[in-house]
A and B are shown apart, each in its own frame.
Chain A
């Protein structure tokens, strides 16, 4: 067995395990937080994707950010992200987390125009608010990204 063959197979196994056990911390500072809770709850049951809620960022692989992030909250969100151990992923749920949404730079002086201005985001889930199905779709997209799969592109 060559070293190369061994390491690539092992990394595949690690990616498979990583994608299937995304333990997360959730930051909900807006109405989208309710949809995230709904997704976690018994009806949609996020745990069947291997997602377990965590309170300690050091034990989490995924940061789910939903809702508005103000300039005042920005350093705290950054500190939370920094406290997570690599590899770490970020799911931005809803228009506010993705780009400021209804509190866009034109209409608000205090809201950051998307959390990607503070931390790197892996998957954006659009919607105001997105339905739990959309959040789950975002999570599956993230899992596919971790496993290195690519989705078939649909024609616009």
Chain B
């Protein structure tokens, strides 16, 4: 069954036409693929709706939600990066030169997940306070005992 047929069947079953084209790509080719999709006349993905990240079994999955304002098409790109250790940073490529909205999204992901977006405009400590250690949304993250001399637990014995 090809994608169009699946889409038709879902529409008949009342699931709507929410089916999106989805591409799982190598992180190395992310910038090229994204640029192609933005500039290709048939796709014209001129809008980046969101970048989401989550960690699964040691991998960090980056998901890019694209939309074309002229053709109305939507597309999802997914790339996976794997940090060497649970606490080490990992490299990915930035798409902020294609969509400016990627700057704050990459900023958040870089601080919360420890992903370095090469060629991007991320700066240290925009989301988390200065002096923060670790990446809070990693599964291996351990809550701080104290930060800036403020004890994290309410009572000493906890």
Contacting residue for A105 out of B128, B132, B153, CB 8 A = B153
Which residues 82-134 of A have a CB within 8 angstroms of B?
A: 99-100, 104-105, 109-110, 112-114, 117-118
In the complex, A74→B131 CA distance in Å? 14
Counting chain B CB atoms within 10 Å of each CB, the highest count among A71, A100, A104 belongs to: A71
In the complex, A71→B129 CA distance in Å? 7
Given A109-B141, A110-B136, are A75 and B153 also a contact pair (CB < 8 Å)? no
B150 & A74 in contact (Cβ 8 Å cutoff)? yes
A105 & B143 in contact (Cβ 8 Å cutoff)? yes
Task: Give the Cβ gap from B151 to chain A, nearest Cβ, in Å.
Answer: 7
> Is the CB of B154 closer than 8 A to any CB of chain A?
yes
Given A71-B129, A72-B128, A72-B129, are A117 and B150 also a contact pair (CB < 8 Å)? yes
Residues of A within 8 A of B152 (CB): 105, 109, 113
Residues of A within 8 A of B129 (CB): 70-72
The total of interchain contacts (Cβ-Cβ below 8 angstroms) comes to 35
> Is the CB of B1 closer than 8 A to any CB of chain A?
no
Residues of A within 8 A of B128 (CB): 72, 110
Task: Give the Cβ gap from A101 to chain B, nearest Cβ, in Å.
Answer: 11
Contacting residue for B151 out of A70, A75, A104, A117, CB 8 A = A117
Task: Give the Cβ gap from A79 to chain B, nearest Cβ, in Å.
Answer: 13
Chain A interface, number of residues (Cβ within 8 angstroms): 16
Say which size band chain B's interface belongs to.
10 to 19
In the complex, A105→B151 CA distance in Å? 10
Given A105-B158, A109-B136, are A71 and B153 also a contact pair (CB < 8 Å)? no
A109 & B144 in contact (Cβ 8 Å cutoff)? yes
Task: Give the Cβ gap from B131 to chain A, nearest Cβ, in Å.
Answer: 9
Residues of B within 8 A of A109 (CB): 136, 141, 143-144, 152
Residues of A within 8 A of B158 (CB): 105
Residues of B within 8 A of A105 (CB): 143, 152-154, 158
Residue ranges of A at the interface with B (Cβ–Cβ < 8 Å)? 70-72, 74-75, 99-100, 104-105, 109-110, 112-114, 117-118
Q: A104-B154, A109-B136 are in contact. List 11 more A-B contacts (CB 8 A).
A: A71-B129, A71-B150, A72-B129, A74-B148, A100-B154, A109-B141, A109-B144, A109-B152, A110-B136, A113-B152, A114-B154
| 29 A-B interface contacts by CB (under 8 A) | A70-B129, A71-B129, A71-B132, A71-B147, A71-B148, A71-B150, A72-B128, A72-B129, A74-B150, A104-B154, A105-B143, A105-B152, A105-B153, A105-B154, A105-B158, A109-B136, A109-B141, A109-B143, A109-B144, A110-B128, A110-B136, A112-B150, A113-B151, A113-B153, A113-B154, A114-B154, A117-B150, A117-B151, A118-B150
Q: Which 7 A-B residue pairs are closest in the complex by CB-CB distance?
A: A72-B129, A113-B154, A71-B147, A109-B136, A109-B143, A105-B153, A105-B152
